[in-house]
Amino acid sequence: AASTSATPADADAVTTRVLAASDRAVAFTVDELYSEQELVLKPLGVEIAGAQYVAGAALLGSGDVILMLDANQLVRSATGTRLPRRRAIEAPKPKLAERKLRVLVVDDSITTRTLEKNILETAGFDVRVAIDGVEAWSVLAEGGERDFDVVISDVEMPHMTGLELARRIKDEPRTSHLPVILLTSLNKPEQREAGLRAGADAYLVKSTFDQDELLRTIQSVL
């Protein structure tokens, strides 16, 4: 891909981005170019997998989820030609028992919750979500048939953080056996150390998040 931008001397100039697919290239006008990054493309859930011009999603280092444009579709639409489409990205399915393993996903970001939920459900897990540690603890306290096999939690959340949730889970005899995976944007060594001291069985960073690693981590803590 290449780009051209306006100079102060030419008010009529526009910023463009050149997208190439197969043997064709098309220049698209854009409002502004902010930065260039290499990101890991992740699959969309079944609810939005058919969204036009969207190839998948990615997690930024800040923990924000962004949608990734499908260059193939954009070029095909602009030129009116049919180009071979990329194979859909499929999350690998772990070997599970006959009963679906139950995962509680805890994150105050609706986009992150949805992305994690879709990845895990595609992999064959039964998933429930909570918006913070308080709601998560309330769900865990219900017990009975709603028992979970693993908890995946963000750290920075209102009302009750992931660290507080991990401590409470490990301090309560009924839930102390429950594996806790912290998935957070906090990537400093001392922050990882704090997470493990709080009782987390694994600590993953969103900026290097990879769905295969998440699934492997779940299997390793079960």
Q: Please give the pLDDT value at position 203.
A: 97
Encoded amino acid at 7, one letter: T
Q: In this predicted model, what pLDDT tens digit does every residue of 101-115 receive, in sequence order?
A: 999 999 999 988 998
Give Cβ neighbours of residue 25 (< 8 Å, ≥ 6 apart). Answer: 18, 19, 75
Q: In this predicted model, what pLDDT tens digit does every residue of 24-51 receive, in sequence order?
A: 777 777 777 777 776 666 666 555 555 6
Structural domains of the chain in order of their starting residue, each with its CATH number: 2-79 (2.30.30), 102-221 (3.40.50.2300)
Give the pTM.
0.62
Q: Please give the pLDDT value at position 87.
A: 46
